[in-house]
Amino acid sequence: MSLPKSKLQKIIPVSCAIIVSEDSKILATQRSSRMSLSLKWEFPGGKIEREESPERTIVREIKEELHIEISINSQLPSVTHHYENFSIILIPFICKIEHGEIKLTEHQAFRWLNPNKLLDLDWAEADIPVAQHYLQTLNK
């Protein structure tokens, strides 16, 4: 049995970065009012292009969106989330800044948060389980 066309959703693979500072704070970025999911907070990142690895995507996207160079420390489990009109597979990476200073090109704001304040923001729904899983890794 196949689903009616209205129930079929495009699934978008997306890489995101949990960027951790030297003092263990986590970077959160706020989507601008002109973006979908406007004003929601998220871990920065973007769509994985055809023929591109998730790792290459996150390095490229962070350079484009934040003007910083990052390195990847590790990967967390992927999260699939279904929004009303699309679905995403979110692939999170724990990263650190290698050089550069943050300059926003797409987002409205950014904050460095202590881990215990991470869940206080109004997150995009797909990012919530990523944040929760990251916090669980800290408690191990």
Could you read off the pLDDT of 86-122 as tens digits, one per residue?
899 999 999 999 999 999 999 999 999 999 999 999 9
H/E segment holding residue 137: helix 127-138
Per-domain residue ranges of the chain: 13-138
What pLDDT does 6 receive?
47
For residues 76-93, average pLDDT = 94
Average pLDDT, the chain: 92
Name the CATH superfamily housing domain 13-138.
Nucleoside Triphosphate Pyrophosphohydrolase (3.90.79.10)
C-alpha span between 118 and 104 (Å, rounded): 20
Q: Which residue has the higher pLDDT, 25 or 36?
A: 25
Q: How confident is the model at residue 84 (pLDDT cuts 50, 70, 90)?
A: confident
pLDDT score of 9: 65
Which structure tokens are listed for 49?
A: 């292009």
